[in-house]
Chain A
């Protein structure tokens, strides 16, 4: 019997690893537009750019360059997302982010399980994703959709009224702030020692030890067993 099983497909791993690069570029290039607290990024970029281009204003040169990076990353991410979205749409109903059980009680129970695992270090049985991961995934998908639509509306803002463009700018910023907070939690938990098997599976092999799945993701293990995969 194989000791490991593929839990993340090559497409999922390819998309996730490149998503990290593009999202990092987009966050770094977008933050100075969101708040003056991040002007240092624009100044840092602006010094070499203004020297090379011979422009006078460092902040403007940096901001123009960052805008170019932002637009380019957005375009490349869109191109990259097309095959991934098409691939994921083929199995829309079986996405891991959908709850195993729907309803308030199931959510409370799931949250209690997470509390037991992360705070009391008790043994619990999760699905492929725990309740927190499911909520995270749903939040990320929602924020990404809003960011994507509002971002393209801002690029092609001449097609809309000033009022609508203003709404797009607000939605873009608000959804980014939400996404940023979700990502911070995601990065912490993904790099947490207790999740090293999942981290390894996503970034290295795509595979996870069956014993680990049996021990930590009992519901998922039962599902795999039912499907005859283990």
Chain B
């Protein structure tokens, strides 16, 4: 199975939010399917854990040249997913298609993934962590992810990574040519060392990265320090054990030598 990628193109997006509704509807159906919840309850309750694609509205620019931008907040299925690395119960796995998925059965809701994610994506509800799973169940059965499926303008498209990237670069190049503004494919290349490249990429004018709240250096400095401390701690602990054993052997040898010398002097 090839690695799957999703792309959000900001240019044809008409802000209908069908993707968000589609995402939540699909997740509610999943809960019904898995017998966690009945039809009525799943229709009537808000259930924030079912919204894996949420809007982040921001006023951008200064009056009178200001505008409102609604950025999308979602899991980026990072190449070096920090949530996957930190999960102590191995509840976060990577599917063959590359989707980073939380298995709710072993999840103990410890919030490690919440702390490690530089995009603030996972949410904890009722002692379990929730985030986008890339509709891996649909994709592995030949369907498109729900958000892509409902998008009326093909602002969201998905497929094999190579094909999506080809289309994304083609569109970015066209937009750059037509508008005169440089368009980029955010996440296609390595964003930084903490997350690597992303499997959810965004076509966007470079100057709008900030408006769409696309972090060019997503990181949790303290978590990197934690990882360093772990490595340094392992080396330090080994050095202390070796040093202690070495010192004890040396000390005993020295002590014997000293006692022998004292006995000779007294003898």
Main secondary structure of the interface of A (DSSP, over half): helix
Q: Is A181 an interface residue when CB atoms closer than 8 A count as contact? A: yes
Q: Is B140 an interface residue when CB atoms closer than 8 A count as contact? A: no
Q: Given the known inter-chain contacts A181-B240, A185-B240, please indicate yes or no for A165 contacting B115, CB distance below 8 A.
A: yes
Closest beta carbon of chain A to B205's beta carbon, Å: 28
Closest beta carbon of chain B to A156's beta carbon, Å: 12
A169 touches B230 (CB 8 A): no
Q: Given the known inter-chain contacts A67-B110, A165-B111, A181-B237, please indicate yes or no for A118 contacting B247, CB distance below 8 A.
A: yes
Residue of A nearest to B247 (CB): A118
Binds A, one of B52-60, B186-194, B220-228: B220-228
Q: Given the known inter-chain contacts A121-B254, A162-B120, A173-B229, please indicate yes or no for A184 contacting B110, CB distance below 8 A.
A: no
How many residue pairs between the two chains, A and B, have CB atoms under 8 Å in the bound complex?
99
A57 touches B223 (CB 8 A): no
Closest beta carbon of chain B to A149's beta carbon, Å: 14
Contact among A32, A63, A166, A193 with B115 in the assembled complex (CB-CB below 8 Å): A166
Residues on B with C-beta less than 8 A from A177 are 229-230, 232-233, 236
Give the distance in Å from the alpha carbon of A137 to the alpha carbon of B233 in the complex. Answer: 19
Binds A, one of B39-47, B83-91, B152-160, B195-203: B83-91
Main secondary structure of the interface of B (DSSP, over half): helix
Residues on A with C-beta less than 8 A from B244 are 184-185, 188
Q: Looking at chain B, what size class is its interface with the partner chain?
A: 35 or more
B258 touches A173 (CB 8 A): no
Q: Is A40 an interface residue when CB atoms closer than 8 A count as contact? A: no
Residues on A with C-beta less than 8 A from B241 are 184
A contact set with B: CB distance below 8 Å: 32-37, 42, 56-57, 59-60, 63-64, 67, 118-121, 154, 157, 162, 165-167, 169-171, 173-174, 177-178, 180-181, 184-185, 188, 192-194
What are 28 pairs between A and B in contact, CB < 8 Å? A33-B110, A34-B230, A36-B88, A37-B234, A57-B89, A57-B105, A57-B106, A60-B91, A63-B110, A67-B110, A118-B247, A121-B254, A157-B111, A166-B114, A166-B115, A166-B222, A169-B112, A169-B222, A170-B222, A170-B223, A173-B226, A174-B225, A177-B233, A180-B237, A184-B241, A188-B240, A188-B248, A192-B248
